[in-house]
Amino acid sequence: MITILITNRKGGVGKTTTTLSIAAEFAQRGYKTLLIDLDTQGHIQYGLGIKHDFEYGIHKAIQKEDIDIKLIVQKSKMKNLYFIPANINYNSSLLQNKKTLKKLLRKVKDEYDFCIIDTAPMSDTVLEMAILASDYVIVPMKTEYLGLVGTVQFVKIFYKIASRLKTDFKLLGVLPTFYSKSIKEHKETIDKLASIIGKDKILPPIRKDIKLTHIFKNGLKSIAKEHSRGKDDYTLVVDEILKKL
Ligand SMILES: Nc1ncnc2c1ncn2[C@@H]1O[C@H](COP(=O)(O)OP(=O)(O)OP(=O)(O)O)[C@@H](O)[C@H]1O
Ligand SMILES: [Mg+2]
């Protein structure tokens, strides 16, 4: 199982949309995929079209430590796609053991090809747990000047945390989101980013697409078979990820 963390401490940059879209694309290509929602907003399950709360989500599993993770994996409505929900509104500051998530995931590592982890917009202990449990990271970045500044700061912090935790991970790339080819500032932002982190660390950009917003209202399955710009863009991103792994 290859574990990919989707994170940025900035909110609303497309982390959850990216997590869901990439996971759906992997699943459609036949890879057995596990989604984990570490954000207590619980947006992943909305994206999967599931509105009820779950008694046991990933947060309680991390707190209890001895829980059988296999019992809390849920089936989604899509073939090959499974998920572990968040405990909505859970007090994440209760979670202190940074290694538990890694230990829990070890128990399912032979069952899935990919595990994709969505995170809350912050850098806290839960992010540290996620870093320890992951092999690769993708940082979605809203394509605008402040998005660039914040993302470069975040990537630096991220490397510092990883080195403090003495863990090895690879930056698969920064993923520009809400991109428009016709906006000059967007192209300049990506050029600037390339000059800082290197062109090879930038994934193909995701254009702004209203159909992607329908994921949260109607569920991922509703757009999975439909043609859309956003879906095409995420297909290219998955092609690129598979090339890099
Ligand atoms: N490429 C896109 N085009 C248009 N709308 C988008 C795009 N990507 C995301 N959105 C919309 O922007 C909003 C924020 O996206 P999303 O929830 O994925 O961001 P997030 O980084 O996970 O936010 P949070 O920090 O709150 O978890 C949502 O309403 C989503 O539907
Ligand atoms: Mg989110």
Using one digit for the tens of pLDDT, what is the confidence trace for 17-26?
999 999 999 9
Return all residues near 91 (Cβ < 8 A) that are at least 6 apart.
Answer: none
The identity of residue 240, as a single letter, is E
**What distance in angstroms lies between residue 219's CA and the mean position of ligand 1's atoms?**
14
Q: Is pLDDT at 64 greater than 80 in this prediction?
A: yes
The alpha carbon of 101 and the centre of ligand 1 are apart by a number of angstroms equal to 25
DSSP 93: G
pLDDT digits (tens, 9 = 90+) for 187-205: 999 999 999 999 999 999 9
Q: In this structure, are residues 111 and 75 in contact, taking their beta carbons and an 8 Å threshold?
A: no
Query: Hey, which residues does 177 pair with through a beta bridge?
Result: 142
Residue 160, domain extent: 2-244
| Residue in 208, 213, 216, 217 to alter for ligand 1 test, most ligand atoms within 8 A of Cβ | 213
Mean pLDDT score across all residues of the chain: 94
Q: What domain count does the chain have?
A: 1
What is the chain's Cα-based Rg? 17
Distance from Cα 9 to the centre of ligand 2, integer Å: 10
Mutational test site, ligand 1, from 6, 13, 17, max ligand atoms within 8 Å of CB: 17
pLDDT digits 0-9 by tens, 113-165: 999 999 999 878 999 999 999 999 999 999 999 999 999 999 999 999 999 99
pLDDT of residue 174: 98
Tokens of 44: 């992943």
Amino acid letter, 62: I
Nearest atom in ligand 1 to 216's CA:
31
**What CATH number is given to the structural domain containing 145?**
3.40.50.300
Beta strands in the chain (DSSP E): 2-6, 33-37, 74-75, 81-84, 114-118, 136-142, 170-177
Q: How far is the CA of 190 from the centre of ligand 1 (A)?
A: 19
